[in-house]
Amino acid sequence: MSSGLKIAVLMGGPSSEREVSLMSGRQVAGALRRLGHNVIELDPDEDGILALLTNRPDVVFIALHGRYGEDGCIQGLLELAHIPYTGSGVLASALAMDKIMAKVVFRSLGIPTPEWVTVTRSDAGVGSPCADDALLQVGLPCVVKPSAQGSTVGVTVVRDAESLADAVHLALSYGDQALIEQFVTGTEITVGVLGDSPARALPTLEIVSKKPTYDWEAKYTPGMSEHIIPARVPEEVRAKCQDLAVRAHTALGCRGFSRVDMIATPSGEVQVLEVNTVPGLTAVSLLPDAARAVGISFEQLVQMAVDGALAVHAGRTVE
């Protein structure tokens, strides 16, 4: 285990998930200080990205959620600067952040994922061929999402055709593409995955929201959701969830850690929704809870990420 390192924690940034990123980053910074590291907290939106190069840390801990932090952009800069960083590399980050491309990869490798239709700004709206195709292909209810956002930002559950246009316009306000996805009923489960050679799954975690949907408030307000470990599904379904989590993590080329979101249906089928390469690391986040269930403290989880970053850099693994 490495210790006494100069570590820059990147947090905040300009994305719609800025406030969550600040919470994650502060928690990570505190853990790193308790581990004896010299920590620099940097917010690219306030300090500028050049502050990172000026301080020249031994390792960068990426706690940036969403655009620029989770989509391969900051990872590419750090590759060019030859600075070790936590989490997945450029390609895996970009693929996981783009929900449409991730689903294309999943489908090509036989990883089950809900049916979807891609919508662009040029073909949005009820009555358009794309909207008609979506309703024919995925049916109602359906879920409309921006292609490259997290934390349920811009997500709408649509239950009638008249609401589809507004949901699509909201999703497209966050980017050029959105997806209209089949709504799958079942138990909402997330599985953390650690490492890459080989990757291993943490226990299944069932999410029970006190709101109709697991939205921003339910995710980040203490007491608004319950985490149940292991998930209340049959053992064979838990095993299936863990296997699919590792397969999804590996399919996209993830490393370090990730969190894979999925739905287990009452019939025992499992549908993979998405992979988060920079999962939340706040006091109410899912990955740390799952790690604690197998005896991995938050400090240990953070240290594992740092050690993994150094190992990758030493081997000069390039995606």
Which 3 state secondary structure label does DSSP give 46?
A: helix
Nearest to 90 by CA among 65, 103, 109, 73: 73
Tokens of 175: 């980017």
Known catalytic membership, residue 115: no
Q: Give the active site residue among 192, 261, 285, 289.
A: 261
Tokens of 20: 């969550």
Known catalytic membership, residue 226: no
Q: Give the active site residue among 18, 276, 285, 308.
A: 276
Known catalytic membership, residue 67: no
Known catalytic membership, residue 276: yes
Known catalytic membership, residue 220: yes
Q: Give the active site residue among 220, 253, 255, 256.
A: 220
Which 3 state secondary structure label does DSSP give 27?
A: helix
Q: Give the active site residue among 274, 285, 289, 308.
A: 274
Known catalytic membership, residue 151: yes
**Cα 317 from Cα 268, distance rounded (Å):** 38
Strands, sheet with 38-42, edge to edge from the N-terminal-most edge strand: 38-42, 6-10, 59-62
Known catalytic membership, residue 127: no
Cβ atoms 53, 81 nearer than 8 A: yes
What is the Cα 97 distance to its own chain's centre? 7
Residue 23 CB neighbours (<10 A): 20
Known catalytic membership, residue 38: no
* Count of H-run helices and E-run strands, the chain: 12, 12
What is the end-to-end Cα distance of the chain in Å, rounded? 25
Q: Give the active site residue among 12, 13, 17, 85.
A: 17
Cβ atoms 219, 287 nearer than 8 A: no
Q: Give the active site residue among 181, 259, 289, 308.
A: 259
Q: Give the active site residue among 280, 285, 289, 308.
A: 280
Tell me which residues are annotated as active site. 17, 151, 220, 259, 261, 274, 276, 280
